[in-house]
Amino acid sequence: MATLGGALALNARRHPDKTALIFGESTYSYEQLAARINQYAHALASLGVGKGDRVALLSPNSDAYILGLYGAFRLGAIAVPLNPRVPARELRYLLEDSGATVLLYSEGLAVVVAGLDELDPLPSAPQSLVLDEPAAQGIARLADTMPTTAPEVEVIEDDDCIILYTSGTTGRPKGALFDHHRMLWVGNSVSALGMNIFDRNLHVAPMYHCAELVLFVMSGFSLGTTHVVLPAFEPKAVLDALEKHRITVFLGVPTMYQMLLQHPELGTRDLSAWRLGFFGAAPMPPSAATSLLATLPHVQFFQLCGQTEGGPTGIFLTPDEVRARPDATGRASITNAETRIVDDEGNDTAVGEPGEIIYRGETIMKGYWNKPEATADALRDGWLHSGDVAVRDADGFITIVDRMKDMIITGGRNVYSVEVEQALAGHPDVADVAVVGRPDEMFGESLIAVVTPVEGREVTLESLREYGSQFIAGYKLPRELITRPIPRNPSGKILKHVLRDAITEGTVATS
């Protein structure tokens, strides 16, 4: 039966000498990569890891990250990718929630791991090994002593393989559980969008996030593509890699693309090999999408909008649709999925009427790890309820206007923060913007615009309201302005609960 580790091993037999992975000065053929993964699998087994055990990974992007990930897959263990930016207290929660028996961590995060000792002890602390350095207590040195043959463990496609934690934009992350079957079906979605065996993928977005990890890393290895990995996003390094390695496929969050557009060397590089560009994880301002299309006209850009719990699955815009409707979120469902927009009673909404977007398909999670009540709330009658408010227009284009928890009710009228943010984002003095609600005795909630100004510029509430009035009704315009950096998670999503808490506690200085 098909599995993630089995698919990579099959490609090693089909084209053993093909370049599979490049990270820094290290290059692996498919045959070499498969052999090294086997060594990591044996190393994990020597630590007592077996089928169903959880192996947590805490690291920036690296070749070692992929070795640890696939080493777990080969054993039938469950990989648990974690955000390398989490503080020790949240790391403790994630380790306890997942029940990880082994933690593989980057040497650069040793201080965070050591910080666990300063907190309440875990009921069952995982064995912790350095992932990316040949340290005495590292997984790499242990793997050096292991055979390169595959471990004798039967892994089937129905076996659980990964827990993907949600981004925690509304509270504590929840772990979405998937098996090999679901993850392999995600690969079919990417193939349907044009990625093929001859592609060369550049990986810059964090691998713990499902968009980069599942859609492009795991699906790419199942297809047999070549992978170039950078540890983090830096505009010049990305341009260097795109040019040097003749990259054909790249995924970036909107902020990354906007930074590339601002880089003075963008127009001087030979990026002629680049053919597929994907963006998602956060809304792309229409003005930025238009600039992207004008600057890189030979690249076919897709907008993706999905959900961790979907594997991810969701909706997308084709290159022609991105060009025609950069303001929309998507139109068609990603392959192997169905999409509806429903009201509170579960009935399909009419054109132009807001409702919750829900999904059904092969890639939807099995459920939240150890959270049956949350699972029952999210998965109803075979449909994944996203918590996103969306509207479908007469042409079939879908626009996600807000998270249900982020909708602001002011004076009895619903205001969707994403709509307001998009109206204000084009202001020439605004570098970044978020809109949240503050409790108000008269209106119920008052709209607050939180703005990061362009360096050297100043934004006033009056100029912001005047600019926004060109696009939205007066009752949707902000009543207060706060100037500060916008808190975002590494995938680019605004952490609105952090802003709301800060505003409520009075820890944010107003302009």
SS3 content of the chain, % helix, strand, coil (to 5): 35, 25, 40
pLDDT tens per residue across span 370-395: 999 999 999 999 999 998 889 999 99
Contacts 24+ apart (CB under 8 A), 285-292: 285/254, 285/258, 285/422, 285/425, 285/426, 286/326, 286/327, 286/422, 287/425, 287/426, 288/254, 288/257, 288/258, 288/261, 289/322, 289/326, 290/326, 291/261, 292/257, 292/261
For residue 1, the model assigns a pLDDT of: 57
How much is the average pLDDT of 40-67? Answer: 97
Q: Per-residue confidence at 401, pLDDT binned at 50, 70, 90?
A: confident
CA distance 368 to 23: 33
* Residue 169 predicted with pLDDT over 70: no
Question: Percent of the chain having pLDDT more than 70?
Answer: 96
The CATH homologous superfamily to which domain 1-156 belongs is ANL, N-terminal domain (3.40.50.12780)
* Residue 168 predicted with pLDDT over 60: no
For residue 171, the model assigns a pLDDT of: 58
Instruction: Give Rg (Cα) of the chain.
Output: 23
* Residue 489 predicted with pLDDT over 80: no
Reduced to 3 states (helix: H, G, I; strand: E, B; else coil), residue 71 is helix
Q: Per-residue confidence at 511, pLDDT binned at 50, 70, 90?
A: very low
Examine domains 1-156 and 180-404 and report if their fold is the same. yes
pLDDT tens per residue across span 406-435: 778 787 677 878 888 988 999 999 999 999
Asked whether the beta carbons of 275 and 249 are under 8 A apart, the reply is: yes
Listing DSSP states for 274-287 in one string gives: --EEEE-SSPPPHH
Reported pTM:
0.84
For residue 172, the model assigns a pLDDT of: 74
Q: Which fold has domain 180-404?
A: Rossmann fold (3.40.50)
Q: What is the domain partition of the chain in residue ranges?
A: 1-156, 180-404, 407-505
Q: Per-residue confidence at 138, pLDDT binned at 50, 70, 90?
A: very high
Q: Which CATH architecture has domain 407-505?
A: 2-Layer Sandwich (3.30)
How much is the average pLDDT of 346-374? Answer: 95
* Residue 509 predicted with pLDDT over 50: no
Asked whether the beta carbons of 75 and 43 are under 8 A apart, the reply is: no
For residue 498, the model assigns a pLDDT of: 82
List the single range of 53-62, 149-158, 217-226, 480-489 with lowest mean pLDDT.
Answer: 480-489
What's the mean pLDDT when you consider all of the chain?
A: 91
How much is the average pLDDT of 231-248? Answer: 97
How much is the average pLDDT of 199-224? Answer: 95
